[in-house]
Structure 1
Amino acid sequence: MKLMRQYSAFLLIALFLVNLPAGAQTSGKRSNGCLGCHTTEIPTKANPSLKKCPRADMVTVHALAVTGPDKIVLQKITGGPDLYEPVLFTHKVHAKMSEMSGNCVLCHHYNPPGSVLACSECHVAETSSKSADLSKPGLKGAYHRQCINCHRESGLSATKCESCHALKADPSAPSRPTQRRSAEVNSTRPMRLVFDTSFEDGKVVTFYHNDHTERFGLSCTACHVNERCAGCHKPAGALAVQVARSVGGHERCSSCHSVDTNCSRCHDKEPRAGFNHARRARFDLARFHSTLACTQCHKGRNEYKGLSGNCGTCHAQWKSGSFNHSVTGLKLDETHGELDCDSCHEGRDFARKPTCSSCHEDKSFPDKSPGTKVRSVGTKSL
């Protein structure tokens, strides 16, 4: 009797397992079914309720654009014959662009520690349009999704097949890589941006972009970090520089500027004129210094402070016997040409008006000139 009860119990358990739904039998492998990837039991197309992809926390690629390959040939993206020639991908150009929007992770979204893996290490070139692993697309799908999505966002029109691909003239002929168009965007840097802010005492902030890039020698990535292409580019592909928005508040400026005090330094009620060195620094650059970048005189980063008026600070090679004073617009006469500089320029402060009192009691500059006014190189007639 005891044996009969044990047999009956075993039979009931077996029947229960046989009739169990297939999804319930594999729930352990599927990580709780839909909830493994979705935050709701019934995700929809309108509201997919996707969880944050955990692969972003596993990114280990932190390289510089210059360390990567210049170009890469994309080929063998399917398991069978291809109608198109391989594509010559300008990797270095794209890598430099990515420095403004997330770096290598834009494409290499998952990479274990070590060297950078090829896309084909994870994405398989399949012969069928049906993927065996729904968690990741095949190699062809991965390439197209990566390129097309980025080009659409940045406003590029290169999203048609012929934009990147060339048809094979003879399917049996050897493949050769082709580059249908350049990956670089021919854009003009803006000179001035006017930001409309919410600051009540001065809503307008005028930013002179060309000063920062040309005079201060800043690269794009000094200010543009973790940005989307659409932040600057219109859908048509042109730079959206007509109306600038205050994106990120003080975040971009605070890496170089102190933004905690003196709000009126940047904020105003109307757009401002550009930086004037003569007015702000009391040193006119109109003659020989106007073509120089700020960093040629202000050596240290963020060291845009007043410099010594002594020309010898930068021009140590200048000596009274060898310096051609005519470049200043004044050719010294024979008597004054033999004097040392500080005989007239007290303390060798060349930013101040020269004095004559050390030698003359009744003469002063510019009423009495120690030479002849001449037309100096790069200046107007005096």
Structure 2
Amino acid sequence: MSEPLNPEQLRSLTPLNVLSEQQWRELRGQLTPQPLLQGQVLFRPGDQARVTYYLLAGELLLQSAEGVQRVQAGSELSCHPLSPSLPRLHEARALTDASVLALDTATLNRMLTWRLAYHDLLLELGQGEDELEWLERLLENPLFAKVPPSNVRAMLERLQRVELAAGSTVLAEGEAGDCCYFLKTGRAEVMRGAGSEQQVLAELEIGACFGEEALLADSPRNATVTMLDDGVVLRLDRQDFFALLKAPVVNEVSLGEASRLLAAGAQWLDVRLQKEYERAHALQSLNMPLQLLRLKARLLDKNRTYLCYCDSGKRSVSAVFLLTQLGFSAYALRDGVDALPPVQRDALLCESGSGYLARSGGRTERSL
């Protein structure tokens, strides 16, 4: 099996050459050359696959209604994506045995957008290599794709450093929430419940934001976070969180706007408790209670848009913030279903309409 390309081999490929080494490491799973046999077609006109291709070895023929063009590995043309517009305008056929690099376009675009938007900020704030790497890992969290660099700069200036030993409790379930945190070094574990009822929800990675759910929902902490190693967390006070992060990250929509998104393929995501859901829910909605969302988000489709709703809108806003961190596209129904006129509310929530329940074990099942 071929080995993944190394950074030196990537430096000639535009625009891959602007990515950081940390980003290249994240792409490592996609950086293995793929063989293409002589005569084999890579793509045809009209192809809609969101894949970015580079020619690494051999020769290809690009053919369109406007003519034909030979692309040889090592040429200036091969340093750029092959027929990048969608739907594709060309047929690409191998003239010799060849190899290509195939990258997920959405991932590449996200990384490029982030890198170009935050390049100057990283140069300004990065003091040493370790500090620069941590900043990159923090800012590559998908939620920062929606935060203006000026807000990020202000946030970093207001973060308060807290050093903690392994076993320390950063925040405890049931306590009031007056801040959120970012994990700078070490590992941390998210747990809910106590004794035999204790459940591990997630292990947090460097750069993760946590503790924001209590701020967004204006409710007590719904989980306990404990350090697994000696480490450092950075604290952001409530007022700074709302001013700098919540406003640009959480998208809210009206019922009319939600209807248009549903027509385009979005799905309702009910983040209330299962008993609330069973009383009445939106047709074809998926029930994934907020307190289990971090654990069960793997059941969701990152190619789909989710419309989160609850009674007051607070839980759905928390859900959108969390889903954004995890790389999903999500919107919250503004002010929740209780703010809808009775006629609209009754039309949205059906007592016996079909829907879906997210179960443990990585599956969903239909509800009635």
Band the TM-score falls in, shorter-chain normalisation: under 0.3
Relative to total residues, which structure has the larger strand share, 1 or 2? 2
Higher radius of gyration, 1 or 2: 1
TM-score by length of structure 1 reads: 0.22
Q: Which has the higher contact order (CA 8 A, sep 6+)?
A: 2
